[in-house]
Structure 1
Amino acid sequence: MDVRRSAERYRGGDPAAGIESLHAFSFGPHYDPDNLRFGAVIACNEETLAPGAGFDEHPHSHTEIVTWVVEGELTHRDTAGHESLVRPGDVQRLSSAGGVRHVERNAGDVPLRFVQMWLAPLEPGGEPAYDLVHGIADSTPYAVPEAAAMLHVRRLAPGERTAVPDAAFVYAQVVRGEVVLGGRTLGPGDSARVTDAQDLEAVAMEAAELLLWEMARPRVGPHPSDGAP
């Protein structure tokens, strides 16, 4: 198990434009050949947008983009005709496939904070697709078959335990609170990369929200070159 602390993330974004970003993997101008991906995950970005701030229209391709809002509301619009408002508890997925462009903004009057995770698909190309699940229930898995991955969302009460999926790769991201995973304490923004996970559990030290990616062993896939969420 490889634990990565929030403070170790690469700081990006454009603070002058109201955009603050923390990147867990090699991303945009920050190139780290030893940190390109884990399983299917090729990016895990923590984004904070001030009211009115956002990412203007930009392209994506060959990437499964999954967004989890922590605070505020995210306005999404893409060139495939989808326009939506994403709130805490919602799971948004944009399959960029052969290519799509989108806009992400904070149109509200309070700061927006979200976690965005990019996964490499098993096969490139295809037609773009969009999905939005409002208020996903605790422990309900969300499948991303294009990347042979499954997202598990856990909201844990103090002292509550949850099993970690047995899988070739598990990527754990603490959204809020504090959990102990495999004997290691993880706080907000911390993550763990577990290879060949088996018989692991996470225990909440306080009320916590935890994202767990369960992934099969991937084939080598493309890595996106664009640097915007």
Structure 2
Amino acid sequence: MDVRRAAERYPGGEPASGIESRHAFSFGPHYDPDNLRFGAMIACNEERLAPGAGFDEHPHSHTEIVTWVVEGELTHRDSTGHETRVGPGDVQRLSSAGGVRHVERNDAGTPLTFIQTWLAPLTPGGDPSYEIVHGIADSTPYAVPEAGAMLHVRRLGAGERTAVPDGAYLYVHVVRGAVRLDGEELGAGDAARITDAKDVEAVGVSAAELLMWEMAGQL
């Protein structure tokens, strides 16, 4: 198990424009050849947008993009005609496939924080697609078969336990609160990368919210 603390993330964004980013993997000018990916995961970014701030239209291709809003509301528009608002508890997935353009903005009057994960597809190309699941229930898995991945959302009370899925690659991100994972205490923004996970358990040190990515072996 490899624990990465929130303070170790690479800083990015444009703070003067109301955009603050924290990258868990090698990203943009922060090139680290030893931190390019974990399983199918190639990025896990924490984004903070001030009211009125956002990312203007930009392209993506050959990437599965999954977004989880921590607080606030995200406005999404893309070149396939989708325009949605994403709030806490919603799972949004944009399959960029052979190519798509999108806009992400904070059009609300309150700060926005979201976690965005990028996954490499098993097969590149194809047609882009979009999906949003509003108010996903606790312990309900969300499958991203294009990347051989499964997202498990868990909300724990203090002292409550949950099993971490067994698998070749497990990525556990603490959204809020604190948990104890295999003897290590993790707080908000911390993450653990676990290879060949088996019989691992997470315990809430306080009320907590976890995103647990279960991924197949690299092809």
In the alignment, what sits opposite 2:17? 17
Deviation at 1:7, TM superposition (A): 0.2
Residue 39 of structure 2 aligns with an amino acid whose one-letter code is G
Unpaired runs of 5+ in structure 2? none
Deviation at 1:29, TM superposition (A): 1.6
In the alignment, what sits opposite 1:113? 113
Distance between the aligned counterparts of 2:127 and 2:218, measured in 1?
Answer: 21
Deviation at 1:57, TM superposition (A): 0.1
> What secondary structure does 1:146 align onto?
helix
In the alignment, what sits opposite 1:57? 57
In the alignment, what sits opposite 1:200? 200
> What secondary structure does 2:199 align onto?
coil
> What secondary structure does 2:57 align onto?
strand
Aligned pairs (5 A) from 1:71-110: 71-110=71-110
Deviation at 1:218, TM superposition (A): 1.8
In the alignment, what sits opposite 2:164? 164
- String of CA shifts for 1:39-64, please: whole Å, max 9, x gaps: 00000000000000000000000000
Q: TM-score, normalised by structure 2?
A: 1.00
Distance between the aligned counterparts of 2:163 and 2:88, measured in 1?
Answer: 23
> What secondary structure does 1:31 align onto?
coil
2:38 is equivalent to residue 33 of structure 1: no
2:188 is equivalent to residue 188 of structure 1: yes
- String of CA shifts for 1:109-143, please: whole Å, max 9, x gaps: 00000000000000100000000000000000000
- String of CA shifts for 1:78-99, please: whole Å, max 9, x gaps: 0011100000000000000000
In the alignment, what sits opposite 2:142? 142
Distance between the aligned counterparts of 1:15 and 1:26, measured in 2?
Answer: 19
In the alignment, what sits opposite 2:209? 209
Distance between the aligned counterparts of 2:218 and 2:96, measured in 1?
Answer: 19
Distance between the aligned counterparts of 1:24 and 1:86, measured in 2?
Answer: 22
> What secondary structure does 2:37 align onto?
coil
> What secondary structure does 2:21 align onto?
strand
Distance between the aligned counterparts of 2:9 and 2:154, measured in 1?
Answer: 23
Distance between the aligned counterparts of 2:27 and 2:60, measured in 1?
Answer: 14
Residue 133 of structure 2 aligns with an amino acid whose one-letter code is V
Residue 123 of structure 1 aligns with an amino acid whose one-letter code is T
Distance between the aligned counterparts of 1:100 and 1:218, measured in 2?
Answer: 25
Q: TM-score, normalised by structure 1?
A: 0.95
Deviation at 1:38, TM superposition (A): 0.2
Deviation at 1:10, TM superposition (A): 0.3
Aligned residues with identical type, % of pairs:
78
> What secondary structure does 2:146 align onto?
helix
> What secondary structure does 1:201 align onto?
strand
Instruction: Show structure 1 runs of 4+ deviating over 6 A.
Output: none
Aligned CA-pair RMSD? 0.4
Q: How many residues align?
A: 219
